[in-house]
Amino acid sequence: MADPAYNGGGLIGFDETTTGGNTNSGNNSSTPNPPKSPPPPIPTPPRQSNPPQPKPQKTILDELSSVSKPITPSKKPASKNIRKQLNDEGEILKQIVGNFEEDGFIRLSGKYPQNYVDIPKYDLSKIIVIGNPEVTFDFILCLKDGEEGIPKLYATKRFYIKLTSEYNNGKPFGVNDAIDEQNIVVIDIKPLKEKIKVMRKAELSINLNRNEINGQVEVKRHLFSYSNYDVGEDGVLVANPTYDFIELLKYISWVVTKPSANYDDRLIPATDLGDFQSFPKESPDEDEPSDTVDDKVDDNDNPADPSPNLYQPIGRKGVEPGETVLFDGIYFEWDAENDRWVVDDAQGLDSKGGGFKDFFDRD
């Protein structure tokens, strides 16, 4: 067998240029014809000085800051960024779940320097590094605001350092697998925001913007959404929501963490899922109607008021036309024209022609 020969293509072969391919074939019937002169020496393949080294990635970020950049139309995302799914009609839908772009390669060599393969590596600087100690998941998380939204990628500080260290040590396979589209956890926050919007609307319509006899409760934060209520036109409250995704990331980390061995510690306290504050009903001024039912009696326990059932069931006149008050699970509206309380039509209850008595007299 001949010595290895360099063929210029990065592969090692064998020298079979002589007649017969094997000069020691064992065929002794023919007369050997040795060459007149020895063959030229086989050239030794030149050795590369130093293969290109991967560019070091930053591994320490002292503060949480977004470095995400929208994917520009002029630069196509890598195939590992695109997730393909089948819809109910059998059509292939494509969704961008990452924003990784190729950033050179890492060369892995074999026994001979001519045997090598170049593995692409990707720019990890677009990952938002989480420094909060309560966030501990070990995967790449993608948050999107709708299916067409720009993906924002998150990783814990520990996981990010692990990825960059693997690249710096010339080990690209685990990193490239971790950032592949099939291994990225994707959460669409648009449906979450819509649900909070519905709850906030109900909170305003049946609580904060009504003169409740039993006080009010204001929800300042729904997990990661802050209401930021402000007084708008006609003195009603309006919300100016903002979002703190760290609260959402903390909740996701709790969901994917192994439950506590102590059964009583497996629930999240309500104060961790939101912030809320109650407001007791303020006492009316002297010139305003009372919020309490007139229950004065004489010495014989007879009602002192000759009309004890006046303004039932609230026990007072309304402050303004259309004022709505919750009583015993039912909303009553002040009918200023007829000077009485009637069932609020918004509940789908028919209160035509009657007030409190008509409601209880219905079948």
Q: Which of 1, 6, 13, 15 is nearest to 47 (CA)?
A: 6
Range with lowest mean pLDDT among 133-147, 248-262, 264-278? 264-278
Q: Which is nearest to 141 in space by CA: 85, 102, 188, 173?
A: 188
DSSP 268-289: --HHHHEEEEEEPPPPPPTTS-
Share of the chain above pLDDT 90, in %: 30
Q: Which two tokens stand for residue 250?
A: 């903390």
- Kind and range of the H or E element at 330? strand 330-335
pLDDT digit string (tens) for 175-186?
999 999 999 999
Average pLDDT value over all residues in the chain: 73
What would the pLDDT profile of 153-165 be if each residue is shown by its tens digit? Answer: 999 999 999 999 9
How many Cβ atoms from other residues are within 10 Å of residue 177's Cβ? 11
pTM recorded for the entire structure: 0.56
Query: What tokens does 313 get?
Result: 């069931």
pLDDT at 298: 53
Asked if residues 142 and 186 have their Cβ atoms less than 8 Å apart, the reply is yes
Query: Do 253 and 137 touch, CB atoms closer than 8 A?
Result: yes
Contacts of 268 (CB under 8 A, 6+ apart): 251, 254
Q: In this predicted structure, what is the pLDDT of residue 340?
A: 84
Work out the pLDDT band at 345, boundaries 50, 70, 90: low
Position 318 pLDDT exceeds 70: yes
Give the range with max mean pLDDT: 29-38, 94-103, 211-220: 94-103
- Residues 6+ away with beta carbon under 8 Å from 279: 215, 216, 217, 218
Domain ranges, ordered by start, for the chain: 79-188, 213-279, 285-363
Q: What amino acid occupies position 331?
A: Y
Q: Contact, 148 vs 250, CB < 8 A?
A: no
More confident residue, 300 or 135: 135
The two structure tokens encoding residue 23? 């000069």
Calculate mean pLDDT across residues 28-52.
52
Q: Which amino acid is at 170?
A: G
Instruction: Report yes or no: 180 and 203 within 8 Å, Cβ to Cβ.
Output: no
**Which of the pair, 329 or 124, is modelled with greater confidence?**
124
The reported pLDDT for the residue numbered 53 is 53
Question: Which token pair is 5?
Answer: 């020969």
Tell which residue, 195, 169, 99, has the closest CA to residue 140: 99
Which residue type is seen at 185?
A: V
Of 238-242, 262-266, 291-295, the range with the lowest mean pLDDT is 291-295
Where residue 242 falls among pLDDT bands split at 50, 70, 90? very high
> What's the pLDDT at 63?
41
Mean predicted confidence (pLDDT) in 339-356? 59
What integer pLDDT is reported at residue 248 of this predicted model?
95
CA distance 249 to 256: 11
Interior CA angle at 349 toward 345 and 355, to 5°?
A: 75
- CB count in 10 Å sphere of residue 178: 17
Residue 8: pLDDT band (50, 70, 90) is: very low
Residues in the chain: 363
pLDDT of residue 212: 55
Long-range contacts of 347-351 (CB under 8 A, 24+ apart): none
Using the predicted structure, report yes or no on whether residue 18 has a pLDDT greater than 50.
Answer: no
Structure tokens at 284: 């009316």
Residues 6 or more apart whose CB falls under 8 angstroms from that of 302 comprise: none
Report DSSP state, residue 99.
-
Q: Helix (H, G, I), strand (E, B), or coil: what is residue 353?
A: coil
